[in-house]
Amino acid sequence: MHQSLKLSGFNVSANGQTSSLFYSSKGNNANVTFTNYGNVQLPPFGKIIVQNPGGHTIETLTINGNTPPGNVLPGSSRTFSVPLSHIGSLGKYTVTGNFGYGN
């Protein structure tokens, strides 16, 4: 058994369009893509943290927190998306993540 999962993408999209500049607080999602280079299916897990322009955490979201969790099959990639609902007024918001997999 060989476990090897890599983070292959992390971005924010608004209404399906990836960008770094947004004009609305509606329809924003954080998207995390994992690629499985191993030979067993793996369920990634983790948290996404959103900070407001003042650097305060305004939202903490769970990636793949379903029961049972979603798997990434060997030799494939899978994107997990979560809505960002606490982004409000103008300013620079920061979105970071902490992810893991396996035992």
What span, in angstroms and rounded, lies between the C-alpha atoms of 75 and 37? 6
CB atoms under 10 Å from CB of 101, counted, come to 20
Enter the pTM of the model: 0.89
Res. 9: pLDDT tops 90: yes
User: 73-98: per-residue pLDDT in tens?
Assistant: 999 999 999 999 888 777 888 999 99
Q: How much is the pLDDT for 85? A: 86
Q: Which two tokens stand for residue 79?
A: 């994107």
The CA distance from 22 to 19, in Å, is 7
Note the pLDDT tens digit of each residue in 12-37: 998 878 877 776 667 889 999 999 99
